[in-house]
């Protein structure tokens, strides 16, 4: 066993680190990063995301492990892992669903024409994608979805509704699931489609998060025409494609690294803050909280590293990815709660002169719940761990 | 980067698993736990024959030249099976410090004997203050001609009742820094003035009270340097904590395996209880605890093997793994229902092991404070 990075990997890590250290100086004032970029971005945050996406695209770092012919760098997944860690640590934006989910799916299941058409613009950071999966009556039970795609010559006619579509209002394209064969039950009869968001018949309506941020949307399809050539995989066979995408979605690692940064900030805060006549850092309960954050941050990184290694070797990691996703989001929430607790009365104050650490944790308190739900709730992940990992009987 | 075990290590894993299933069934485990001696000389001899005792010693000292990671593999399997006896005391807490700090004569005397299964060791570190910090060392050793004379009371000393030699951690001079002035002696367990009493414990492992009254030990039996013994202890702490984590990971796996098998088999309301989500989610959480425990243990075991600085990482590992092991074994008992609470059921063995492993070389809160000291040192 050997965990040491090669000199090339070390150099790469330093290159990533130098880049982010410099570029993050361009973040808007009070930018708090982390999950805000995913779930709660304001206009300034969004513009910064766009800026970073193009910077990263120009570096070729959005597409590290892809083949060169589609705009990639042909690095291995270990380099990708290093990149994710460094980027997570700096709480940098710039990566969306197109990079995280669609690109690996296309590489695995797309045809040549699709790869050539869709991958290079994603690699350049020019195009934003959203994920059209959940529906009002199909969330955890995704396979019960009812959005219909009816074949009409070389097009599908799409009708139905998606919900919880993060960033749909900013996105150029959507990858979605629609039922192409209502005769077939559940996961059979679903197709995976790529939809240009400028197509007539699409309505996007915001759903505001509890903190008032606009990230989620409802998306309505009213006779929306999708070319058949934009179907990934065979007709009615979209679920198999979906399973791959889910694994990519669930095996993200950036969060752990972000927690390391959060911990550093909190330690600084506790050193500087004197309450009841003594520095917060001397409070045994505070120290215990901080230590537990350090524990979970390091353990999460180890878990992610092991998962990355398995994926690098080409292993199927369904249960492992689910375990990692549930553990990671729950751990993140524990850390947020502990941070808010440490900050005490001020732990409720949002971005303002009274908010310690830019009100990052007060905001995360509101947004953190989404992490245990998006990408499959923790309960669904545990079902998969039990069914696939432990071979317990399916419900 | 290569996060896999070598082929030889995978072979070691499967061979040791098979060996223990055959040679150390749970009936024997319980019998040994209830016995006065606490180990089986016959099993001990067989373990020496398959070269476990000398695994991490160089060939020149009668060993087979293995790495720390080999020991991790073996200890994970021993934890999976539960193996009562002085292996951990002898090899990890006795053999490794002698290998690291012993003179050539000491190594020649002890290591080949350990490898052959002819020498049992015990580390007498903790005292009634029940801390693993140097400040807790009150036992003294005072110079007396060519000898030292040891006085003091040691507690939680594993396997002292059957040991041939005891590594005794003493204070040889009073300094402002509690970590200065500590000396380790290799003491013949049959020396005059040693009284040893086994303490009754949850895991029925043989932890002893050992009283030293004017125990004479020759100067040549100092392990490492006079007054500088704490650096040896610091290294043992790292190795022993991670080695214990490997045992816990193995025990947690065994607990989950038997629990899942039970849940598939046990029927309630016409269905196996493992088909109910309440049970499935418990099992999934157990697996998540085990996977994380294993991942961090291997990673930090590698750091220990490489001799990289890892005070914080070891503390992180011990705290996480012992918390995880306790959760896993508690859920294991719960899922088994009433039968899980009995002496006859294997799952209770692991629940007991979890308590012993948790407090061994510092519990999770002790390690959390060590971590906090690394994040933000304060004087207390």
**Secondary element (H or E) of residue B115:** helix B104-115
- List A residues 7-36 in contact with B (Cβ-Cβ < 8 A): 9
- List A residues 58-87 in contact with B (Cβ-Cβ < 8 A): 78
pLDDT tens per residue, range B165-222: 999 999 999 999 999 999 999 999 999 999 999 999 999 999 999 999 999 999 999 9
DSSP state of B219: G
* Interface mutation target, options A256, A302, A328, chain B, most CBs of B under 10 Å: A302
Answer for the pair B126, B132: CB distance below 8 angstroms, yes or no.
Answer: yes
Give the nearest chain B residue to A306 (CA atoms). B295
Interface check for A178 against chain B (CB to CB < 8 A): the answer is: no
Give the nearest chain A residue to B259 (CA atoms). A390
Q: Which of A249, A296, A301, A320 is catalytic?
A: A249
Cβ contacts of A134-140, under 8 Å, gap ≥ 24 = A134/A162, A134/A163, A134/A164, A134/A165, A135/A160, A135/A161, A135/A162, A135/A163, A136/A161, A136/A163, A139/A164, A139/A377, A140/A376, A140/A377, A140/A379, A140/A380
pLDDT tens per residue, range B335-378: 999 999 999 999 999 999 999 999 999 999 999 999 999 999 99
Chain-chain contact of A5 with B1 (C-beta, under 8 angstroms): yes
* Interface mutation target, options B376, B377, B379, chain A, most CBs of A under 10 Å: B376
Chain-chain contact of A291 with B319 (C-beta, under 8 angstroms): yes
Chain-chain contact of B280 with A291 (C-beta, under 8 angstroms): no
Chain-chain contact of B368 with A392 (C-beta, under 8 angstroms): no
Quick one: pLDDT band at residue A248, thresholds 50, 70, 90?
low
- Which pair of tokens denotes residue B61? 């000292």
- Which pair of tokens denotes residue A267? 């330690």
pLDDT tens per residue, range B41-85: 999 999 999 999 999 999 999 999 999 999 999 999 999 999 999
Give mean pLDDT, residues B130-154. Answer: 96
- Quick check: A36 pLDDT over 70? no
Percent of chain B residues past pLDDT 70, beyond the cut: 100
Chain-chain contact of B281 with A387 (C-beta, under 8 angstroms): no
Q: How far is A344 from chain B (nearest CA, A)?
A: 19
Cβ contacts of B68-71, under 8 Å, gap ≥ 24 = B68/B239, B68/B301, B68/B304, B68/B305, B69/A1, B69/B5, B69/B9, B69/B301, B69/B302, B69/B305, B70/B8, B70/B9, B70/B12, B71/B243, B71/B246
Is A155 an annotated catalytic residue?
A: no
Give mean pLDDT, residues A313-337. Answer: 91
Interface check for A181 against chain B (CB to CB < 8 A): the answer is: no
Answer for the pair A141, A133: CB distance below 8 angstroms, yes or no.
Answer: no
Give the nearest chain B residue to A1 (CA atoms). B3
User: How far separated are the first and last CA of chain A, in Å rounded?
Assistant: 39
- Which pair of tokens denotes residue A95? 């990566």
A392 neighbourhood in chain B, CB within 8 Å = 260, 263-264, 274-275, 279-280, 283
Answer for the pair A301, A252: CB distance below 8 angstroms, yes or no.
Answer: no
Q: Taking each helix axis from N to C terminus, what angle separates A284-312 and B364-375, rounded to the nearest 10 degrees?
A: 90
Prediction ipTM score: 0.95
A309 neighbourhood in chain B, CB within 8 Å = 1, 3-4
Among A140, A152, A141, A156, smallest CA distance to A191 is for: A156
- Quick check: A286 pLDDT over 80? yes
A12 neighbourhood in chain B, CB within 8 Å = none
- List A residues 138-177 in contact with B (Cβ-Cβ < 8 A): none
Tokens 């299964």 -> residue: B117
Chain-chain contact of A386 with B281 (C-beta, under 8 angstroms): yes
């Amino acid at each position: 066993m050997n965990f040491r990075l090669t000199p090339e990997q070390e150099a790469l890590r330093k290159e990533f680190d130098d880049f982010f250290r410099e570029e993050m100086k361009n973040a808007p004032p009070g930018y708090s990063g982390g999950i805000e970029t995913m779930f709660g971005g304001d206009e300034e945050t969004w513009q910064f995301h766009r800026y970073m996406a193009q910077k990263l695209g120009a570096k070729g770092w959005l597409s590290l492990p892809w083949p060169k012919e589609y705009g990639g760098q042909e690095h291995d997944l270990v380099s990708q892992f290093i990149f994710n860690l460094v980027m997570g640590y700096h709480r940098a934006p710039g990566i969306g669903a197109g990079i995280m989910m669609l690109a690996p799916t296309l590489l695995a299941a797309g045809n040549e024409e699709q790869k050539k058409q869709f991958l290079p613009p994603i690699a350049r950071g020019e195009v934003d994608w959203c994920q059209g999966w959940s529906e009002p009556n199909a969330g955890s039970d995704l396979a019960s979805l009812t959005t219909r795609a009816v074949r009409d010559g070389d097009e599908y006619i799409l009708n139905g509704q998606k919900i919880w579509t993060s960033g749909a209002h900013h996105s150029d394209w959507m990858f979605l699931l629609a039922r192409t064969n209502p005769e077939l039950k559940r996961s059979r009869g679903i197709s995976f489609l790529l939809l240009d968001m400028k197509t007539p018949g699409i309505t996007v309506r915001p759903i505001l998060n509890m903190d008032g941020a606009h990230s989620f949307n409802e998306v309505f399809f009213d006779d929306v025409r999708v070319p058949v050539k934009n179907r990934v995989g065979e007709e009615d066979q979209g679920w198999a494609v979906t399973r791959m995408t889910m694994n990519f979605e669930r095996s993200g690692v950036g969060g752990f690294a972000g927690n390391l940064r959060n911990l550093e900030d909190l330690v600084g805060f506790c050193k500087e803050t004197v309450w009841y006549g003594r520095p917060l850092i001397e409070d045994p309960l505070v120290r215990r909280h901080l230590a537990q954050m350090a524990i979970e941050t390091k353990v999460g990184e180890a878990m992610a590293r092991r998962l990355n290694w398995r994926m690098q070797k080409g292993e199927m990691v369904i249960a492992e990815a689910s375990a990692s996703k549930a553990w990671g989001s729950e751990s993140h929430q524990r850390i947020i709660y502990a941070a808010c607790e440490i900050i005490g009365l001020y732990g409720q104050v949002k971005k303002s002169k009274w908010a310690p650490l830019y009100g990052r944790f007060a905001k995360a308190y509101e947004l953190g719940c989404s992490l245990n739900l998006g990408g499959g709730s923790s309960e669904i992940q545990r079902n998969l761990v039990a069914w696939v990992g432990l071979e317990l009987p399916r419900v | 980067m290569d996060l896999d075990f070598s082929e030889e290590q995978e072979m070691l894993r499967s061979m040791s698993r098979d060996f223990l299933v055959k040679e150390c069934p749970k009936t024997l485990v319980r019998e040994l736990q209830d016995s006065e001696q606490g180990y089986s000389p016959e099993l001990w001899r067989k373990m020496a024959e398959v070269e476990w005792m000398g695994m991490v010693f160089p060939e020149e000292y009668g060993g087979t030249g293995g790495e720390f990671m080999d020991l991790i593999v073996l200890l994970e399997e021993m934890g999976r099976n539960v193996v009562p006896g002085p292996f951990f005391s002898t090899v990890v807490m006795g053999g490794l410090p002698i290998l690291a700090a012993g003179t050539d004569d000491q190594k020649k005397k002890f290591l080949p004997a350990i490898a052959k299964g002819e020498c049992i060791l015990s580390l007498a570190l903790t005292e009634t203050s029940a801390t693993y910090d140097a400040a807790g060392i009150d036992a003294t050793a005072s110079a007396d001609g060519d000898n030292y004379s040891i006085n003091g009371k040691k507690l939680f000393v594993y396997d002292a009742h059957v040991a041939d030699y005891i590594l005794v951690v003493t204070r040889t001079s009073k300094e402002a820094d509690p970590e200065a002035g500590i000396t380790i002696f290799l003491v013949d367990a049959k020396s005059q003035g040693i009284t040893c009493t086994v303490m009754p414990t949850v895991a029925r492992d043989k932890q002893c009270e050992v009283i030293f009254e004017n125990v004479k030990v020759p100067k040549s039996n100092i392990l490492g340097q006079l007054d500088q013994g704490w650096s040896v202890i610091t290294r043992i702490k790292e190795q022993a904590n991670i080695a214990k984590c490997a045992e816990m990971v193995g025990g947690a796996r065994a607990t989950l395996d038997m629990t899942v098998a039970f849940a598939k088999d046990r029927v309630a309301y016409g269905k196996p209880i493992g088909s109910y989500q309440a049970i499935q989610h418990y099992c999934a959480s157990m697996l998540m605890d085990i996977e994380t425990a294993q991942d961090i243990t291997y990673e930090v075991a590698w750091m220990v093997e490489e001799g990289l600085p890892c005070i914080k990482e070891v503390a992180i590992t011990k705290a996480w793994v012992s918390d995880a092991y306790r959760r896993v074994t508690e859920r294991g008992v719960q899922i088994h229902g009433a039968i899980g609470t009995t002496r006859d059921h294997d799952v209770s063995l692991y629940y007991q092991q979890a308590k012993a492993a948790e407090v061994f070389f510092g519990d999770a809160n002790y390690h959390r404070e060590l971590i906090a000291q690394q994040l933000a040192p304060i004087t207390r």
